[in-house]
């Protein structure tokens, strides 16, 4: 079998099961090949003997046997949001246009409360879009989402990544988003602009019964990405793809200990990348002071009045997190998921806390220009927190669009 070994600064140390060095062989090459028939062993530096792994023959090579498990929790359902899509086959010439019309809706059970107005948006082709189908598709998405009535009830996006396909989906679940019959969804091009519906079904806006428990696939809106939770993680392929960024202010930098108010909050922001999507896996508050109290905010003598607000705009959807007024709020309202979690270190002169929000499925900040208003992460300081030390960081990875 042989004895356990380690290599330290080019010297091969042969170690017995009690951790004692039996033999030292200097000037060993940086890379060595270990041949094993059935078992390979390695020193366990915790002092409780050594570890062993079985070796099996696979493709005429010896391979270590390892074990792992993945827990998958899946609830299947059907996408309840109506949608349709179309392709821009020819962007036309300068001065051409495309008119997009969506029929309105009047709820017979509540005609004065749940009406959805008709949509009528015309996108004009300029010299910069002429002959550029993908560029025109992006402009269509942008101008639809800029329309007040459209933005309130619908969402447009590029349907297939890097392709001139426009996807339109209802923001309202259920039959209110359905548009059926003649004139439900109309595309009227002028000049040489040419659009194509994928099938006759796309002449209407329908719930299509796509199986899902999550969201539409970000790269192909005709598909749905199902939700998976458990021991599954995604990591970038290179160190250069890592994203580590604090929330910052143009004047105050990353120091959140400023004097803000409800009327004039001080805004710290994490912006999207100019060329790549960012996928955020962790958001983290960390800071401290002398004598932290859980019923107050860090080392201050009182709780915050208005509270610190975290707001995230991801994939053109905005969510606000629970307000943070006390140290206990950091622990109970901003510490979730696996990973670092909540850390509280006490010392004679300075106490330090970390509140880490970990996401099982990283959320995206789409690259700049993807929407009328770019995605972001914002931290609003709405009280005087100058008596404490406080920072906000994010961690994730960049991905090519």
Kindly write down the DSSP assignment for every residue of 140-151, as one continuous string.
Answer: HHHHHHHSHHHH
Which of 14-18, 64-68, 117-121, 151-155 has the least mean pLDDT?
64-68
Higher pLDDT, 12 or 284: 284
pLDDT at 232 over 50: no
> What pLDDT is stored for residue 399 in this prediction?
81
Q: Which residue has the higher pLDDT, 153 or 338?
A: 153
Tell me the per-residue pLDDT of 131-184, one tens digit each, with 9 for 90 and over. Answer: 999 999 999 999 999 999 898 889 999 987 778 999 999 887 777 788 888 888
pLDDT of 353-395, one tens digit each? Answer: 999 999 888 899 999 998 989 999 999 999 999 877 999 999 9
pLDDT at 46: 39
Q: Name the percent of the chain lying above pLDDT 90.
A: 43
**Res 301 pLDDT > 80:** yes
Distance CA 271, CA 43 (A): 46
Q: Which residues pair with 266 in a beta bridge?
A: 381
Q: pTM (2 decimals)?
A: 0.46
* 115 confidence band (pLDDT: 50, 70, 90): confident
Residue 351 C-alpha from the chain's centroid:
31
pLDDT band at 205 (very low <50, low <70, confident <90, very high): confident
**Eight-class DSSP state of 116:** B
pLDDT in tens, 305-324: 999 999 999 988 899 999 99
The mean pLDDT of the chain is 79
**DSSP alpha helix (H) spans, 32-126:** none
End-to-end CA distance of the chain: 51
Burial of 48 (0-12, 13-18, 19+ CB in 10 A): exposed
Q: Which segment of 35-44, 99-108, 162-171, 247-256 scores lowest on mean pLDDT?
A: 35-44
Name the pairing type of β-strands 119-124 and 215-216.
Answer: unpaired
Task: Give the tens place of pLDDT for each residue, 34-69.
Answer: 444 444 444 443 344 444 455 666 666 666 655 444
The top-scoring range by mean pLDDT among 26-40, 69-83, 188-202, 307-321 is 307-321
Residue pair 353/287 in contact by the 8 Å Cβ criterion: yes
pLDDT: is 6 or 80 the higher one? 80
Q: Quick one: pLDDT at residue 48? A: 43
Average pLDDT over residues 82-110: 88
Greater pLDDT, 332 or 111: 332
Q: Give percent helix, percent strand, percent coil of the chain, each to the nearest 5.
A: 10, 40, 50
The predicted pLDDT at position 179 comes to: 87
pLDDT attached to residue 87:
93
Q: What is the pLDDT of residue 226?
A: 56
Domains of the chain and CATH, by start:
5-64 (no CATH), 77-225 (no CATH), 239-400 (2.60.120)
């Amino acid at each position: 079998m042989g004895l356990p070994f380690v290599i330290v600064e080019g010297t091969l140390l042969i170690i017995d099961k009690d951790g004692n060095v039996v033999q030292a062989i200097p000037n060993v090459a940086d890379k060595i090949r270990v041949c094993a028939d059935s078992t390979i062993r390695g020193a366990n530096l915790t002092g409780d003997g050594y570890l062993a792994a079985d070796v099996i023959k696979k493709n005429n090579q010896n391979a270590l046997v390892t074990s792992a498990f993945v827990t998958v929790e899946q609830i299947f359902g059907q996408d309840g949001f109506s949608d349709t899509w179309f392709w821009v086959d020819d962007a036309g010439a300068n001065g051409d246009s495309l008119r997009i019309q969506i029929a309105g809706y009047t709820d017979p059970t509540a005609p004065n409360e749940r009406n959805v107005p008709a949509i009528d948006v015309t996108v004009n082709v300029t010299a910069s879009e002429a002959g550029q189908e993908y560029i025109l598709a992006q402009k269509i998405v942008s101008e639809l989402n800029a329309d007040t009535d459209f933005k309130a009830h619908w969402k447009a996006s590029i349907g297939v990544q890097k392709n001139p396909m426009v996807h339109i989906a209802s923001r309202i679940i259920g039959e209110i988003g359905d548009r059926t019959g003649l004139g439900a969804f109309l595309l009227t091009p002028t000049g040489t602009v040419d659009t194509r519906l994928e099938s006759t079904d796309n002449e209407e806006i329908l719930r299509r019964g796509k199986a899902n428990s999550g969201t539409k696939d970000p790269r192909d809106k005709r598909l749905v990405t199902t939700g998976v939770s458990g021991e599954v993680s995604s990591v970038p392929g290179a160190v250069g793809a890592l994203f580590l960024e604090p929330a910052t202010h143009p004047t105050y930098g990353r120091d959140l200990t400023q004097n803000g108010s409800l009327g004039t909050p001080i805004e710290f922001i994490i912006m999207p990348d100019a060329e790549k999507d960012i996928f955020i896996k962790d958001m983290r508050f960390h800071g401290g002071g002398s004598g932290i109290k859980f019923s107050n905010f860090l080392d201050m003598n009182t709780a915050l009045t208005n509270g610190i607000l975290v707001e995230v705009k991801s994939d053109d959807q905005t969510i606000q997190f629970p307000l943070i007024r006390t140290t206990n709020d950091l622990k109970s309202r901003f510490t979730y998921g696996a990973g670092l979690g909540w850390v509280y270190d006490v010392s004679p002169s300075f106490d330090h806390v970390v509140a880490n929000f970990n996401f099982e499925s990283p959320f995206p900040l789409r690259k700049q220009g993807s929407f009328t208003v770019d995605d972001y992460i914002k931290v609003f300081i709405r009280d005087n927190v100058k008596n404490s030390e406080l920072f906000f960081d994010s961690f994730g990875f960049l991905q090519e669009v």
